[in-house]
């Protein structure tokens, strides 16, 4: 079996993508853990505001900068840490504010933009979505060079498609005719906005007590000095996604719907000419029956285990349910493998009994992902 370590050899960024509820965040943590155990300095970044990543790594909370993870719980669970593992949860607003600070030509401009009421309300939209902000953060960490590998846990697959488009959407925003018209230097007596829009904003200003037109005018004036920087950053972010050292990993479960979303994401990757490193199928049912039928178990339970016929029947029924799920999963995984093609490695992770929200659970998941 091909393990994750082989798939990520010589990679600097891995983007984990999949639908909700398939164990993507936990898998991202286990992938990062396994690579850190093999001697790399690894950071795992999540966009998920929930505490799943922090819980999985045994941390009370995660902030907007990578936080070192204590290796002791994982070593007690049997996994020696030869490298370093860090983790963070993205704060979209703070990250975009930091980007503004880097692009602003001077301290005064930076403070004026951050204090502007229009910016505070629209910065999320201007950022080109949280997906762009996330990969911009990964780009920043990659440029700083403090980590050998960055693992990005993305939103569910439908949003992950937006994730791929975010740099282009941001660039398109700054290239739009409407914005260029608004940012065009105004002559004497010229207005940034048409008369109708100005009257509307003036009315809103009287109602709210805020000078919205002035705030908007100031915001557009300040923004005009950052357009070139935003274009360059969007191009750099897109280049990072296309870099040969960046790999995408699909994470799914064996159900039809998550598999369908994974294949849709794969098709989008192909259109964008971005590299798919492999696929991970979590929670695959397995049983001990093999080619036998579940009904064969009942007489054995009576004859060899000494169970009553009633109890043996209940146990056999449970075997039958598990056997049906095993066959369903095998068929769905085979369909996925066929659709991906022989060139895309596929790793199956069985349904685990362990709690995957602690160190022991992550170590158990790691063993299946890395073939340890």
Please tell me which residue, 161 or 283, carries the higher pLDDT value.
283
Q: Residue 335 above 50 pLDDT?
A: yes
Pick from 52-66, 95-109, 136-150, 223-237 the range whose average pLDDT is largest.
136-150
pLDDT grade, residue 255 (50/70/90)? very high
Exposure class string for 220-256: b at 16+ Cβ within 10 A, else e: bbbbeebbebbeebbebbbebbeeeebbbbbbbbbee
Weakest-pLDDT range from 30-39, 162-171, 224-233, 271-280: 162-171
pLDDT the model gives residue 132: 73
Please tell me which residue, 219 or 361, carries the higher pLDDT value.
361
Report pTM.
0.81
Nearest alpha-carbon partner for 89 in 155, 3, 158: 155
Q: Residue 147 above 80 pLDDT?
A: yes
Q: What is the pLDDT of residues 311-332, one digit of tens each?
A: 777 777 878 888 889 999 999 9
Average of per-residue pLDDT across 25-42 = 95
pLDDT grade, residue 346 (50/70/90)? very high
Report domain extents, the chain: 4-178+231-285+351-370, 289-344
pLDDT the model gives residue 127: 47
Judged by DSSP in three states, 327 sits in helix
Return the number of other C-beta atoms located less than 10 Å from residue 43's C-beta: 26
DSSP letters spanning 114-147: HH-HHHHHHHHHHTT-HHHHHHHHHHHHHHHT--
Q: Quick one: 4-178+231-285+351-370 is in which CATH superfamily?
A: P-loop containing nucleotide triphosphate hydrolases (3.40.50.300)
pLDDT the model gives residue 187: 42
Q: What is the pLDDT of residues 77-105, one digit of tens each?
A: 999 999 999 999 888 788 888 888 888 88
pLDDT the model gives residue 43: 97
């Amino acid at each position: 079996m091909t393990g994750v370590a082989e798939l990520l050899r010589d990679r600097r960024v891995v983007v984990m993508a999949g639908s909700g509820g398939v164990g993507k965040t936990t898998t991202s943590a286990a992938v990062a853990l396994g690579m850190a155990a093999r001697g790399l300095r690894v950071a795992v970044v999540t966009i998920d505001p929930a505490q799943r990543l922090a819980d999985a790594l045994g941390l009370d909370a995660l902030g907007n900068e990578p936080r070192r993870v204590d290796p002791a719980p994982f070593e007690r669970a049997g996994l020696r840490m030869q490298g370093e593992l860090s983790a963070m949860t993205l704060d979209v607003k703070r990250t975009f504010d930091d980007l503004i600070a880097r692009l602003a030509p001077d301290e005064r401009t930076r403070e004026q933009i951050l204090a502007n009421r229009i910016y505070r309300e629209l910065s999320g939209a201007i950022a080109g979505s949280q997906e762009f902000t996330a990969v911009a953060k990964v780009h920043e960490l990659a440029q700083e060079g403090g980590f050998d590998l960055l693992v990005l846990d993305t939103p569910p697959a439908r949003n992950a498609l937006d994730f791929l488009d975010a740099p282009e959407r941001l660039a398109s925003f700054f290239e739009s005719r409407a914005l260029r018209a608004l940012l065009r230097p105004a002559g004497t007596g010229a207005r940034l906005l048409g008369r109708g829009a100005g009257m509307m904003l003036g009315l809103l200003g009287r109602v709210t007590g805020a000078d919205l037109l002035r705030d908007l005018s100031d915001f557009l004036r300040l923004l005009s000095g950052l357009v070139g920087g935003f274009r360059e950053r969007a191009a750099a972010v897109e280049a990072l996604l296309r870099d040969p050292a960046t790999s995408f990993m699909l994470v799914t479960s064996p159900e039809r719907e998550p598999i369908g979303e994974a294949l849709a994401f794969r098709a989008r990757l192909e259109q964008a000419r971005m590299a798919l490193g492999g696929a991970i199928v979590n929670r695959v049912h397995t049983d001990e029956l093999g080619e036998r039928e579940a009904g064969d178990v009942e007489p054995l339970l009576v004859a060899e285990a000494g169970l009553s016929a009633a109890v043996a029947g209940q146990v056999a029924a449970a075997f039958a349910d598990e056997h049906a799920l095993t066959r369903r999963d095998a068929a769905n995984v085979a369909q996925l493998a066929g659709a991906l093609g022989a060139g895309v490695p596929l790793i199956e992770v069985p349904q685990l009994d362990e709690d995957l929200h602690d160190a022991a659970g992550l170590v158990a998941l790691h063993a299946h992902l890395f073939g340890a």
